[in-house]
Structure 1
Amino acid sequence: MIIIALGANLPAATGASPLATCQAAAAALAALPGLRLAALSRWYRTDPVPPLPGSPPYINGIARLEGTAPEPGELLRMLQRIEAGAGRERPFPNAPRTLDLDLIDVDGLRRAAPDPILPHPRAHLRRFVLEPLRDVAPGWVHPVLGRTVEALLEDLADQAPSVPVLAG
């Protein structure tokens, strides 16, 4: 099971809304060689983490892919090409973005270096990742912490919940 987080809070280079960009990215993930889109979460509206004054809210979701995963570095490069197609720029850490694709988990692989670090080093600290993850992989267990997605969400009860949005 391959878990990829999708997020956007700026219009794409084409002018597409963050939701439309995330939907197009999910379709692009479904077209990756050797993989299929097994599940796609609901879309959620979330505040930026960390907060950034003037930054619009994000649209976030999770895609669960199945199939034969390429080497993690190659998979990361594929995700970055999809981001670039949406006009992703990286002016500074945590900057608003047209599209963000984060590799959260690849079949429970543990990898400290080189990029990508697996599982994603901050996924367990982000409600906006865990809520949609629960949609597509209830009972998912963090490969390092050995805790379920539900238990990790309980740890984040102080974070504001994400708000599901209607697709369209």
Structure 2
Amino acid sequence: MAVEAALVAIGANLPRPDGTSARETCAWAVGRLCAIPGMRVVAVSSWWESAPIPPDPASPPFVNGVALLHGEAAPAALLAALHAIEDAAGRARPYPNAPRVLDLDLIDLGGRVQAGPPVLPHPRAHQRAFVLRPLAEVAPGWVHPVLGQGVAALLPGVADQAIRRIGPA
């Protein structure tokens, strides 16, 4: 298996059961990404704050970022490792788009296109500012493997979504 680039979106908007803040949990998750066998973290974006999508006035804003990993991992194995990190953080899945202590999404793995599991590229990544803005920091030359558009060309399509940079990783 050849060395591939993996893009992982990191997000959280609830404290962990021990009170760890969403931003601290995102940083903790980066440390856990470093421990995935066969993968290494080569870049982490700034942290960004964004409104939930779909909008939910009862849900706190999210902290988001993207990590660029290099290495060798089968898509299903990498997804399982991401789910294990979410579980270790205390992630619950009561309903779709629920507030969460940690959300790790595999956005792209070496430009693969597959119906799943996991679905690659992530089916809504190109519609989310909270993915594209931090992704542009760690992989400015990334091209969506289905749409054939680069991240810079996709950004204007999400310009109306509320997001702001809140600091370095």
TM-score normalised per structure 2:
0.94
Aligned to 1:159: 161
Shift of 1:159: 2.3
Q: Which runs of 5+ in 1 are unaligned?
A: none
Aligned to 2:145: 143
Q: Which runs of 5+ in 2 are unaligned?
A: none
Shift of 1:158: 2.5
* Aligned positions of 1:83-162 closer than 5 A: 83-113=86-116, 115-160=117-162, 162=163
2:70 to 66, 69, 82: 66
Asked if structure 2 preserves the Cα contact closer than 8 Å seen for 1:14 and 1:86, the reply is no
SS at match of 2:78: helix
Structure 2: how far apart are the matches of 1:83 and 1:99? 6
Amino acid at match of 2:86: E
The 4+ residue runs of structure 1 with deviation greater than 4 A are none
RMSD: 1.1
SS at match of 2:57: coil
Amino acid at match of 1:44: W
Shift of 1:111: 0.4
Amino acid at match of 1:41: S
TM-score normalised per structure 1:
0.95
Structure 2: how far apart are the matches of 1:34 and 1:127? 29
Query: What is the aligned residue count?
Result: 165
Structure 2: how far apart are the matches of 1:59 and 1:72? 25
Shift of 1:145: 0.4
Aligned to 1:11: 15
Deviations 1:125-161 (CA, angstroms, capped at 9, x unpaired): 001100000000002100110000010001222223x
Asked if structure 2 preserves the Cα contact closer than 8 Å seen for 1:19 and 1:167, the reply is no
Structure 2: how far apart are the matches of 1:45 and 1:8? 10
SS at match of 2:69: strand
Shift of 1:85: 0.7
Structure 2: how far apart are the matches of 1:81 and 1:40? 20
Structure 2: how far apart are the matches of 1:87 and 1:4? 19
Shift of 1:167: 5.2
Shift of 1:95: 0.2
State percent identity of aligned pairs: 54
